[in-house]
Amino acid sequence: MQTQQASSPKSEAQWIRQIAKRDRGAFEQLYRAYERKLYRYLLGIVRSPESAEELTGDVMIEVWKNASRYRGHAKPSTWLFGIAHNKAIDVLRRRQPQVAELHAVAGAPDPRPGPEAAAINEGDRHEVAAALDALSAEHRSVLDLAFNNGCSQAEIAQIVGCPINTVKSRMFYAKQQLRQALERRGFRREIS
Amino acid sequence: MNHLKIAELLPWYVNGTLAPAQREAVEKEIETCELCASDLETLKALQKTMLDVEAHAPGPSQFLVNRTLANIEEIERKRETQKAGSQWWRGLSAGAKAAVLVASLALILIAGGTLVRFTNSPNGQMALPPPPPVAMNALKVPAAADRTSASAAEAGATNIADVYSVQTKAAPVSTNKAPFQRPQIIRTGNMSLLVPDVEKTIARLQEIAQAQFGDVLALDDTTPSQPGERHIATLKLSVPQDRFAQTMDAIAKLGGVQTRSVAAEDVTNQIVDSQARLKNLRHTEEDLLRIMDRQGKVADLLDVQNQISSTRDEIEQLDAQLKSMQHRVAYSALSISLEDEIPAALVGPGAGTQLGDSWQTALRDSKELALRIGAGVLRIVAFAPYWAVPIALAWWLVAWLRRRPAY
């Protein structure tokens, strides 16, 4: 599925209501709108294309089975990413009981523009992608949800199942880890 | 709000999801705070690059949608079966339901009584039915639980605590490989059928392939040119692996099955090996690219560039092989041969056809006779000089002899 349809939360909510009535056309529309987004989000967490692909299918099957439970209190994207996040975390738990420590990165915030800015200014996509891959699953998911999927703090908190303050601290540490990953990858030039 | 509180909000100011009051606070802060303004620029650039990375990153396999839709059809089929199963209960009257419940309760009580009797028996043992037969492969490869029990026995565990401690040590062996280690099997099938009408069966096969989320890959249809020949066609279908058996069954209903065979090839090890090799090659390529970024002699750089090029070739070749293998696992190939039940010669023409044929033959023969007669007349006329002169001479001689006086 290469193409994605432009859709609004309202039309997506309508599709989910139709899916609850076993409407395969609505399911296919929702699938087309979210397949790539969910796959990329899951890939960022589980780091295996095969697992991410299998999980994407599982998420959409979950949507088919449980569409009638969607009450419309959250945006459809929040509901879908919430299912995806839970499934991905389950896989990580089964695969590796020791989930990466959240507080591995310490130190006070450094407000100066870091090497990530330098890398971005150079447009070095490859380096940034590799630095993003070096982030822990929790930090990567917060960055993905905020910047790739336009989620608010409250929506991210709902998706990953934690308080808003935790989302803020994860964002802070994600930025700091990204900075360190870029430094490890050789971006040691002088920062003004 | 202080500087740190504002700094926390910046990522969501960048993605445009802040409440109006928070947005105003951020805008005020960045007008006066140089650090916040600089951080904001960094975050904007980060978002832009992340979106750029996403736009260029590969998506899932194009076959995922078909697999998911096929799974959903399977779920629906099971749901329908369960629904039909529960309908018999709903169809019962209140009295019948009560009777079933009473009978079930009685059975439970009888079974409970039997259990108590056995438990209180002098030797305290209950005669158990013999264990069910175990498949050979189940004996060869014990399940995780069996392995832990076996290891517990080997370790000489005598009580539950010992067994538990051994099990907890052994458990991680099985948990790491949970959902993604199922065998990767390439399935192929062959079937030949005698059917009443090959044309209609081809159309029906196309419908079946589409219904099972597959497709017809090849069709070879040989229409008989001579009476007496049979209409023969061969088709190649590709269907999702989990629909393979259903498709075979659906096809078998189209006519008389002459031959039917299924083959399976386990390629799990090949796929795992290819994935590992691919991962290593990608790491090698990344390392080589990093070496390229360093400054050095031109000859060394050219050497590295050659190595990058050959590594990339290997990656692409291996990637293509892996994708092809995964596709063959995901989609099973089916070869179908179709043949008419009755050859054309055995079907006699109707009475109307026979009369029509006779009339046409008679017309053709009479026309041919008329032409031959006409041709004969023309030949006689054309050869007139040869036969008219002797006849005229003979006629004159006969007439002369008759006129001569008799002596």
What mean pLDDT is predicted for residues B269-285? 86
Among B238, B185, B236, smallest CA distance to B210 is for B238
- Return the structure tokens found at B285: 């390529």
Determine, for residues B42 and A148 on separate chains, whether the beta-carbon distance falls below 8 Å: no
Determine, for residues B60 and A61 on separate chains, whether the beta-carbon distance falls below 8 Å: no
- The strand pairing partners of B195, in sequence order, are B340
pLDDT exceeds cutoff 90 at B385 = no
C-alpha span between B215 and B188 (Å, rounded): 15
pLDDT exceeds cutoff 60 at B166 = no
Determine, for residues B41 and A57 on separate chains, whether the beta-carbon distance falls below 8 Å: no
DSSP string over B219-283: EEEE--SSTTPPPEEEEEEEEEGGGHHHHHHHHHTTSEEEEEEEEEEE-HHHHHHHHHHHHHHHH
Per the CB < 8 A criterion, the answer to whether B257 and B201 are in contact is no
C-alpha span between B11 and B368 (Å, rounded): 100
- Chain B positions in Cβ-Cβ contact with residue A91 (cut-off 8 Å): 179
- Distance between B186 CA and the closest CA of chain A, angstroms: 17
Determine, for residues B42 and A113 on separate chains, whether the beta-carbon distance falls below 8 Å: yes
Determine, for residues A120 and B45 on separate chains, whether the beta-carbon distance falls below 8 Å: yes
Which of A56, A96, A117 is closest, CB to CB, to B42?
A: A117
Residue B134 DSSP class:
-
- Chain B positions in Cβ-Cβ contact with residue A132 (cut-off 8 Å): 50, 53
For B300-327, the pLDDT digits (tens) are 778 888 888 888 888 988 889 888 888 8
What mean pLDDT is predicted for residues B388-394? 91
In this prediction, residue B374 carries a pLDDT of: 93
Among B197, B194, B190, smallest CA distance to B339 is for B194
In this prediction, residue A73 carries a pLDDT of: 86
Q: Which of B41, B42, B181 to mutate to test the interface with A (most CBs of A within 10 A)?
A: B42
For B195-230, the pLDDT digits (tens) are 888 888 998 898 888 888 888 888 888 877 777 777
- Distance between B348 CA and the closest CA of chain A, angstroms: 50
- The strand pairing partners of B236, in sequence order, are B218, B335
For residue B407, name the pLDDT band (cuts at 50, 70, 90): low
Determine, for residues B42 and A114 on separate chains, whether the beta-carbon distance falls below 8 Å: yes
Taking the CA atoms of B107, B110, B116 and B121 in sequence, report the sign of the dihedral they define: negative
Determine, for residues B49 and A125 on separate chains, whether the beta-carbon distance falls below 8 Å: yes
Q: Which of B53, B80, B175 to mutate to test the interface with A (most CBs of A within 10 A)?
A: B53
Per the CB < 8 A criterion, the answer to whether A88 and A56 are in contact is no
In this prediction, residue B375 carries a pLDDT of: 93
C-alpha span between B378 and B370 (Å, rounded): 12
Number of CB pairs, chain A paired with chain B, less than 8 A apart = 141
The residue type found at A184 is: R
pLDDT exceeds cutoff 50 at B50 = yes
- Return the structure tokens found at B331: 């989609």
C-alpha span between B20 and B235 (Å, rounded): 64
In the sheet that holds B185-195, the strands lie side by side as B215-222, B232-240, B331-340, B185-195, B256-266
For residue B376, name the pLDDT band (cuts at 50, 70, 90): very high
Q: What's the distance, CA B212 to chain centroid?
A: 8
Closest chain A residue to B16, measured at CA: A150
Which of A49, A94, A132 is closest, CB to CB, to B175?
A: A94
Pairing relation of β-strands B215-222 and B331-340?
A: unpaired
ipTM over 0.90: no
- Return the structure tokens found at B245: 């058996």
- Chain A positions in Cβ-Cβ contact with residue B288 (cut-off 8 Å): none
Determine, for residues B64 and A1 on separate chains, whether the beta-carbon distance falls below 8 Å: yes
- Chain B positions in Cβ-Cβ contact with residue A22 (cut-off 8 Å): 76
In this prediction, residue A62 carries a pLDDT of: 93
Number of neighbours of residue B340 by Cβ within 10 angstroms: 20
pLDDT-above-90 percentage for chain B? 13
C-alpha span between A92 and B180 (Å, rounded): 12
For B91-123, the pLDDT digits (tens) are 677 777 788 788 888 888 777 666 556 555 544
Helix axes A24-46, B64-91, angle to 10 degrees: 120
Q: Which residues make Cβ contacts (< 8 Å) with residue B331, sequence separation at least 6? A: B63, B214, B238, B239, B240, B241
- Chain A positions in Cβ-Cβ contact with residue B178 (cut-off 8 Å): 94-95
Whole-structure pTM value: 0.46
For A61-89, the pLDDT digits (tens) are 999 999 999 988 889 999 999 999 999 99
Among B183, B326, B187, smallest CA distance to B246 is for B187
The residue type found at A61 is: I
R_g (Cα) of chain B, nearest Å = 45
- Distance between B65 CA and the closest CA of chain A, angstroms: 7
Q: Per mean pLDDT, which of A12-26, B150-164, B339-353 is the most reliable?
A: A12-26
E-strand stretches of B59-184: none
- Distance between A80 CA and the closest CA of chain B, angstroms: 16
C-alpha span between B75 and A92 (Å, rounded): 26
The size of chain B, in residues, is: 407
Determine, for residues A64 and B72 on separate chains, whether the beta-carbon distance falls below 8 Å: yes
- Chain B positions in Cβ-Cβ contact with residue A168 (cut-off 8 Å): 8
Number of neighbours of residue B108 by Cβ within 10 angstroms: 10
In the predicted model, residues of chain A with pLDDT beneath 70 are: 1-6, 96-124, 185-192
Which of B59, B75, B172 is closest, CB to CB, to A39?
A: B59
